[in-house]
A and B are shown apart, each in its own frame.
Chain A
Amino acid sequence: MSNNMAKIADARKTVEQLKLEVNIERMMVSKAAADLMAYCEAHAKEDPLVTPVPSSENPFREKKLFCVIL
Chain B
Amino acid sequence: MSEWCICSVFALQKVSIIIVIFACVVCKYIIYLSEVQLNETLAHLKTESETLKSKLEEERAKLHDVELHQVAEKVEGLGQFVMKTRRTLKGHGNKVLCMDWCKDKRRIVSSSQDGKVIVWDAFTTNKEHAVTMPCTWVMACAYAPSGCAVACGGLDNKCSVYPLSLDKNENLAAKKKSVAMHTNYLSACSFTNSDMQILTSSGDGTCALWDVESGQLLQSFHGHAADVLCLDLAPSETGNTFVSGGCDKKANVWDMRSGQCIQSFETHESDINSVRYYPSGDAFASGSDDATCRLYDLRADREVAIYSKESIIFGVSSVDFSLSGRLLFGGYNDYTINVWDVLKGTRVSILFGHENRVSTLRVSPDGTAFCTGSWDHTLRIWA
Contacts and interface: CB of A to CB of B under 8 A. Distances in A.
B300 interface: yes
A39 B280 contact: yes
A32 B343 contact: no
A52 B78 CA distance: 11
A17 B252 CA distance: 12
Interface in B329-351: 342-343
A17 B42 contact: no
B90 interface: no
Nearest to B329: A49
B60 A26 contact: yes
Contacts of A34: 71
A33 B368 CA distance: 26
Contact of B49 (A18, A29, A40, A50): A18
Contacts of A37: 71-72, 75, 343
A62 to B, nearest CB: 9
B55 interface: yes
Contact of B86 (A22, A42, A52, A61): A61
B324 interface: yes
Contacts of B223: 17
A15 B48 contact: yes
B71 to A, nearest CB: 4
B38 A27 contact: no
Nearest to A63: B86
Interface SS of chain A: helix, strand, loop or mixed? helix
Taking residues whose C-beta sits less than 8 angstroms from the other chain, chain B's interface range is 35 or more
A4 B62 CA distance: 37
B56 A22 contact: yes
Interface residues of A, number: 47
A32 B48 contact: no
Interface stretch (B187-195, B211-219, B257-265): B257-265
A43 B35 contact: no
B63 A28 contact: yes
A14 B51 CA distance: 12
Contacts of B66: 29-30, 33
A4 B39 contact: yes
B130 to A, nearest CB: 17
A16 B179 CA distance: 32
B369 A47 contact: no
Nearest to A35: B282
B202 interface: no
14 contacts: A5-B38, A17-B261, A22-B55, A28-B63, A29-B300, A36-B283, A36-B304, A43-B279, A47-B327, A47-B367, A49-B327, A50-B327, A61-B383, A66-B124
Given A26-B300, A31-B299, A40-B75, 5 more contacts: A21-B56, A30-B71, A32-B299, A36-B304, A43-B323
